[in-house]
Amino acid sequence: SKQMIPKVEAYHKRKLSDKFFCVYLDATYIPLRRETFERKAVYIAIGIKPNGHKEVIDYCIAPSENIEVWTELLHNMKSRGLKQVELFLSDGVVGMKTALMQTYPK
C-alpha cells in the first residue's frame, strides 16, 4: 500500500474539468480497519460531463458526515478547476444548500 500513496495523493491534486452537467454528492458508512475496526463516512462526488461521461471527481474519509467536510471538499474541487455545474444532487444533509451557494452561487 505504500506504493499507492503517491498515486492517491496525485489523484486528489489532479486538475479537474471546468464543467460538469450534474454532480452527485453523498456519503455512506463502511467498516474500515486501521488502528481499530470502526465505521467511517466515505464522502464521494460523482460528476456527469456534458458528453455523458461519468467520473469520480473526488472522495474523502472522515469519522462522520458533517457539513464542514462537505464544504472543504467543494472548495477543493473549485480550486482544482471545477467552475460550472448545472445541477447538484444530494440528500438532506443539514447545511448543504448553504455550502453549495457559497461555493457555486450560480
So what's the pLDDT on residue 33? Answer: 80
The pLDDT of residue 39 is: 92
Chain position carrying cell 452527485: 24
- How confident is the model over 13-69, as pLDDT tens digits? 999 999 999 999 999 999 988 777 889 999 999 999 999 999 999 999 999 999 999
Query: Cα separations (Å) of 56 from 6, 24, 70, 98?
Result: 18, 10, 15, 23
Residue 32's pLDDT is 85
Q: For residue 37, give Cα distances in angstroms to 10, 13, 14, 31.
A: 27, 28, 30, 7
Domain residues of the chain, as ranges? Answer: 5-90
How long is the chain? 106
Residue 42: what pLDDT?
95
In degrees and rounded to multiples of 5, residue 79 shows phi and psi of -65, -20
pLDDT the model gives residue 102: 93
pLDDT (average), residues 89-104 = 92
Specify the pLDDT at position 88: 96
DSSP 37-74: EEEEEEEEEEEE-TTS-EEEEEEEEESS--HHHHHHHH
pLDDT grade, residue 71 (50/70/90)?
very high
Q: Burial level of 57, CB count in 10 A (0-12/13-18/19+)?
A: buried
